[in-house]
Homo-oligomer: A and B are copies of this chain.
Amino acid sequence: MIVRPRPTFLQLFFVMRGSVVPRILPQIFGFAIYSAVILALARWFQLDLGVFNITPFGLVGVTLSIYLSFRNNAAYDRWWEARKLWGTLVFEIRNLARATTSLISDQTEQRALLMEALAFCHFLRGQLRKIDSVKDTRAFIDAEADTVASFANPADEMVRRMGRRANARRRAGEIDSIGFRILDERLASITAIQAGCERIAGTPLPFAYTLLVHRTAYIVCLLLPIGLISTTGWATPLFMALIAYTFFGLDALSEELEDPFGTEANDLALDGLCRVCEISVFEALGETPPKMIPAEKFYFS
């Protein structure tokens, strides 16, 4: 995730980090060159393209704008919902820390339960990013990390372990039914967060949208120079570059936001959010919390 102050007027045109421009340079230059070739051919053979103009593109443009606008909104909603789910995780971890330290008097058990919660966060992060996060969880649950990692769904197993621990306290008579219910509600909410994240990570936007948007955008950009030449003349490549920038820029950004759990520039800072959970848990246990992860050139991992 990029967090940086607003760039100045000049910086604006040269900032690359966080921008989608590097990803769509092929399209921008491709269509500029393509239209320059069309232009050269038309001038060379003295083709009369005056009868063509861009009016017919208006109707297609309306549909294309519906596609782009819809896809952008849907992708952003997924990104923001993913952020909300992790925000919910933060406060459920805090609630769990408060409830655990209140209801469970045995400090070893307190700590063990909360360490499992932190391991859950890191397992979930690993599953969503499709990376190996077992080494991060070892800091909290030691050798158990490898046992858990052998499960089909390690994060799910962590919640079950917390549930078993809470239940053991209930059976030991340390917490009553209401106390167990308070802890169980926290775990139910954490389970919901996991399923929500799995939903976003596992169900992309219907593939047919991607095809519709891409095909329409490419066909329009392939036909457009013919319609533009009579109006914009030698400036056609410039206009084509601008149009390709706006079409494919929005498209590339939507694609990046659609899967918010990656490690691209505009994806969520899951490392940082795990650290926020750690800080709250260690402060609740009265231990020294770790430092917040600093940004690297405005980028939070």
Which residues in A have some Cβ–Cβ distance to B below 8 Å? 1-4, 6-7, 9, 12-13, 15, 18-21, 51-70, 72-74, 76, 79, 83-84, 87-88, 90-91, 94-95, 97-99, 101-103, 151-153, 156-157, 159-160, 163-164, 166-167, 170, 176-182, 184, 187-188, 191-192, 194-196, 198-199, 202-204, 206-212, 214-216, 218-219, 223-224, 228, 231-233, 235, 238-239, 242-243, 245-247, 249-250, 253, 255-257, 265-266, 268, 279-280, 283-284, 289, 292, 298
Whether B56 lies near A54 (C-beta < 8 A) is yes
- Once bound together, how far apart are the Cα atoms of A7 and B208, in whole Å? 12
Whether B102 lies near A152 (C-beta < 8 A) is no
Q: Knowing A51-B233, A74-B76 are in contact, say whether A195-B94 is a contact too (CB < 8 A).
A: yes
Which A-B residue pairs are the 3 nearest by beta carbons? A177-B178, A91-B195, A2-B207
Could you list some 7 contacts between A and B, CB below 8 A? A54-B58, A62-B62, A70-B73, A88-B192, A91-B194, A102-B163, A177-B178
Contact of A266 among B166, B206, B233, B257 (CB under 8 A): B206
- Once bound together, how far apart are the Cα atoms of A194 and B198, in whole Å? 21
> Apart from A88-B195, A152-B292, A176-B177, what 9 extra A-B contacts exist at CB < 8 Å?
A1-B203, A12-B211, A21-B211, A65-B66, A95-B191, A98-B160, A98-B187, A208-B266, A212-B250
Whether A179 lies near B177 (C-beta < 8 A) is yes
- Once bound together, how far apart are the Cα atoms of A243 and B1, in whole Å? 32
- Once bound together, how far apart are the Cα atoms of A204 and B63, in whole Å? 24
Q: Would you give the shortest CB distance from A224 to chain B, in whole angstroms?
A: 8
Q: Would you give the shortest CB distance from A205 to chain B, in whole angstroms?
A: 8
The chain B residue with its CB closest to the CB of A272 is: B202
Whether B253 lies near A209 (C-beta < 8 A) is yes
Q: Would you give the shortest CB distance from A122 to chain B, in whole angstroms?
A: 19
Whether A203 lies near B83 (C-beta < 8 A) is yes
